[in-house]
Amino acid sequence: MKLAKSLLIVTAIIGFMTSSSFAAEAELVREGEQIFMTKGAGNCLACHAVNGKEIDGPGSLGPKLQYLSAWPEQAIYDKIYNPYTTNPISVMPAFGINGWLSDGEIKAVVAYLKTIK
Ligand code: HEC
């Protein structure tokens, strides 16, 4: 009886932890999408079409972002932090080095981009 009760408690705790970490991940993805789309934050949409969204006008300097779910998280992070490591003549700004996005903000954008098929 005692064992059954503690098992129940353990299951409840694990259940709570998994559902709350799902919620935290969803929140991170939402924050990343916000940064991606917002002028004055990432404003990535100015150069990158994604998920059928793009800005009309001269933008589109960068490639349409797709299949990023297949990239390792670290590779996406590094690209945003400093694009020149993979492409020395990139016109993409170095959001990390320039201090435009914090470590946490870049991680949020990475979480969002990992959802891009
Ligand atoms: C001024 C235009 C510009 C902005 C703003 C910009 N990028 Fe880029 N980005 C580019 C260009 C051009 C490339 C392709 C050349 C290269 O790989 O460096 C690129 C490449 C990328 C790649 C690699 C894509 C691939 O398929 O190889 C990723 C990922 C990326 N950008 C993410 C972002 C994110 C996230 C933001 C916003 C925080 C952003 N970019 C903002 C121009 C831009």
C-alpha distances in angstroms, 11 versus 25, 39, 42, 45? 21, 44, 40, 43
Would the CB of 32 count as within 6 Å of ligand 1?
A: no
Average model confidence (pLDDT) across the chain: 89
Mean pLDDT of 108-116: 96
Residues 52-68 pLDDT 10s: 888 876 556 899 999 99
Specify the pLDDT at position 20: 81
For 24, phi then psi, to 5°, come to -65, -40
User: Is the minimum distance from the CB of 96 to ligand 1 under 6 angstroms?
Assistant: no
Q: Is 110 in the pocket of ligand 1 (CB under 6 A)?
A: no
Ligand 1 mean position, distance from CA 25 (Å): 23
How many Cα atoms within 13 Å fall on the side-chain side of residue 50?
A: 22
Residue 10, pLDDT above cutoff 80: no
pLDDT of residue 44: 94
